[in-house]
Structure 1
Amino acid sequence: MFEYCSMSAPSAVRALQQRITEMQVPQLGDRSVPTRSELASLLPGGALMRGCSYSVHGSLALALALIAGASASGMWCGAVGFPDLGLEAAAALGIALERFVLVPRPGDRTLGAVATLSEVLSVVLTRTSGPVRQADADRVAARLRERGAVLICVGDWPHPTSTLRVTDSRWQGLGTGRGILAQHTLTVQTMDRRGPSTRTISFDGGRPSAPRERILEALR
């Protein structure tokens, strides 16, 4: 896992580009980006699409799970603005930490960091705490289209390809104190070109011997 406190430094970006070039698994020229099979029904075409943005509400676990398929296929992914991200939980969901870039505290330069990372990563995760100006969103969207990257935003994002809103979340496998997060079942309202819909999906993503409170906090 690579952590960058400031993505504004050109030397940091060049170093990251070189590292990814050395390690990146070659990808086919398909517009689709793989995601976990359990989540395919939530997305038009059954996959994330290059150059597109997605808005996720109510579950960081779902946002991380959406990344996991791309990560497992050899793609580089990253997250901007998650200082308390539970890396153990991310790894349990299938994210390869050796190909994961974290910018935990971008301050007021969140969108700048997102745009920078989209030049070198396949999927970028971020979150918003308030409205995003359309002009800023347009600049990020142009970079996504140019580089063929995917943006997943936890929170509102202007004109996303798809909006996924979790209305119910249930875990199976946790006892008191310690246990294994065996399965996560979510009820998700989706809005995309197919129209509004509600789907229930389940996916595995647990790790044994972790304190119950810590796991649940990491996946909120």
Structure 2
Amino acid sequence: MSSARSVALDPGRSVVEQLRERVAAMESRMEIKAAGEPVPTLPGLAGLMSLHAGATYAVDSASLALALAAGASRAGEWVGFAGWPDFGAEAAAELGIELSRTVLVPDPGEHWLEVTAALVDVLRVVVLRPPATVDERTAAVLDSRLRTRSAVLVVQGDWPRVEARLSLEGSTWSGPAAGAGQLEQRRAHVVVRRGARPARRVELAWPGVRPVAPDVPRRVREIHRASG
């Protein structure tokens, strides 16, 4: 399996300076989109919401953060993760994130805002775990950068300015009936909230982030077996 490009930095030089050098080397690979244009999402999320260039989205779990980055990565875009020391490469690859086009800055430290802005300059989707509470002024700085560069910011945690907030509700796991072995599937309702609009929700299953088919009533199953 290929690995994410974890950014190895020289401790004797500025973190932001080194990151900008690497970003400049990649910049020609990025096709600029207009702010507001759609950015690919996974099929399982397509009927629930869409991502748009220049916008910020908040999630409450690593599972949703990976899912929002996966659609763009599958479509050939570069994505990045900042503040993810526990980044799960296997889980990311399972969703379709191409690790060879993934930039990982596990610990951006005190310069996290500058690091995130540098990633936004060249990557289509940037997933951030902010290390501290973010105020309106800080959010506005990145908002402007996102619109200029037509990137998408996904924040795991609180953020004052977002296009939508996604959360997981009622998560359940299933696995071997005997209780031994690995868990096989996770089901959860993904809920999308946009301002004052009514919340939208859909039940999805992991791995794959696919819609859960409605359960077939027991009586229908019995009839099917009898007629077969």
Confirm or deny a common fold (TM above 0.5): yes
Q: 1:16 aligns with which of 4, 8, 23?
A: 23
The verdict on how the C-alpha distance between 1:28 and 1:147 changes in structure 2, with shifts beyond 3 A counting, is closer
3-state DSSP of counterpart to 2:141: helix
Aligned match of 1:139: 141
The verdict on how the C-alpha distance between 1:98 and 1:114 changes in structure 2, with shifts beyond 3 A counting, is same
In 1: Cα distance, 2:5 partner to 2:80 partner: 9
The verdict on how the C-alpha distance between 1:196 and 1:9 changes in structure 2, with shifts beyond 3 A counting, is same
How many residue pairs were aligned? 199
Aligned match of 1:66: 68
Structure 1 unaligned blocks of 5 or more: 207-220
In 1: Cα distance, 2:147 partner to 2:92 partner: 26
Aligned match of 1:218: none
Which structure is larger by alpha-carbon Rg, 1 or 2?
Answer: 2
Aligned match of 1:54: 57
Q: Which structure's residues are more often strand, by fraction?
A: 1
Q: 2:123 aligns with which of 99, 121, 124?
A: 121
Amino acid at match of 1:56: V
- Once the 2 structures are TM-superposed, how far is the Cα of residue 60 of structure 1 from its aligned partner? 0.8
- Once the 2 structures are TM-superposed, how far is the Cα of residue 194 of structure 1 from its aligned partner? 7.5
Structure 2 unaligned blocks of 5 or more: 209-228
3-state DSSP of counterpart to 2:138: helix
In 2: Cα distance, 1:108 partner to 1:12 partner: 14
In 1: Cα distance, 2:67 partner to 2:150 partner: 20
The verdict on how the C-alpha distance between 1:5 and 1:132 changes in structure 2, with shifts beyond 3 A counting, is farther
Q: Write the deviation string for residues 27-80 of structure 1: whole angstroms up to 9, x where unpaired.
A: 77681100001012332xxx21000000001x2111101111100000000000
Residue pair 1:80, 1:114 contacting (<8 A) in 2 also: yes
3-state DSSP of counterpart to 1:151: strand
Structure 1 segment 26-175 matched on structure 2, within 5 A: 31-43=37-49, 47-57=50-60, 59-173=61-175
In 2: Cα distance, 1:174 partner to 1:106 partner: 40
TM-score (norm 1): 0.79
Residue pair 1:56, 1:154 contacting (<8 A) in 2 also: yes
- Once the 2 structures are TM-superposed, how far is the Cα of residue 174 of structure 1 from its aligned partner? 6.1
Aligned match of 1:215: none
Aligned match of 1:217: none
In 1: Cα distance, 2:181 partner to 2:111 partner: 38
